[in-house]
Amino acid sequence: MKKATLLCLLLTLTMGSSIFGQGDFKAGAHLGLPIGDAGDLATFAIAVDLGYLFDISDEFSAGPAIGFSHSFGDEVSVGGFTFEVEDVQFLPIGGEARYAFDDFFIGGGLGYAVGINDGNDGGFYYSPRFGYNVSDKVAIMAAYRGVSLDGGSWDIITAGVEVNLN
């Protein structure tokens, strides 16, 4: 089921540029700090994103997106015993929208984050973000990435670089 969902999204991303018209392929790489529940169990995180944003108007764009996040597990001491927490990985699949003003933009992503590591069922994914376009091809951005899980959430604050692949 997970592979079928991923395949459908990749086909949409690949075919979307010729079917729907103008837009931009975007790829990003981010470093992050786990916070909240995640901060108790992980030390730092990396994330990558790939998406295609269709130009809805001069200021607004939206489209499908997919990503990958990897949070590196920490050592936790409980009652004199030390346990090593496994790394946590998610594959967020969904959509993204952004509104641009001058060289700045705000936006966010919504979707479902498929849990990749053992025992990780995934959950609802949300990611508000803002950024600055350094040039037509490069932007820097900051984001809050959250995944709602049964009984909690997995939250990361990230900073990164995004490249326009067109």
pLDDT in tens, the chain (166 residues): 455 454 454 555 455 444 445 889 999 999 999 999 899 999 999 999 999 999 999 999 999 999 999 999 999 888 889 999 999 999 999 999 999 999 999 999 999 999 999 989 999 999 999 999 999 999 999 999 999 998 889 999 999 999 999 8
DSSP 51: E
Sign, CA dihedral 104-163-91-55, equals positive
Specify the amino acid at residue 46.
I
Query: In the prediction, which pLDDT does 23 show?
Result: 87
Which H or E run includes 126? Answer: strand 123-133
Which residues does 74 contact at the CB level (< 8 Å), separation at least 6?
Answer: 40, 41, 42, 43, 84, 85
Unique residue bearing structure tokens 């269709």: 54
Q: What is the pTM (predicted TM-score) of this model?
A: 0.83
Give 19's Cβ-side CA count (13 Å radius).
Answer: 8
Unique residue bearing structure tokens 């730092």: 44
Query: In the prediction, which pLDDT does 16 show?
Result: 47
List domains and CATH numbers for the chain.
Answer: 2-164 (2.40.160.20)
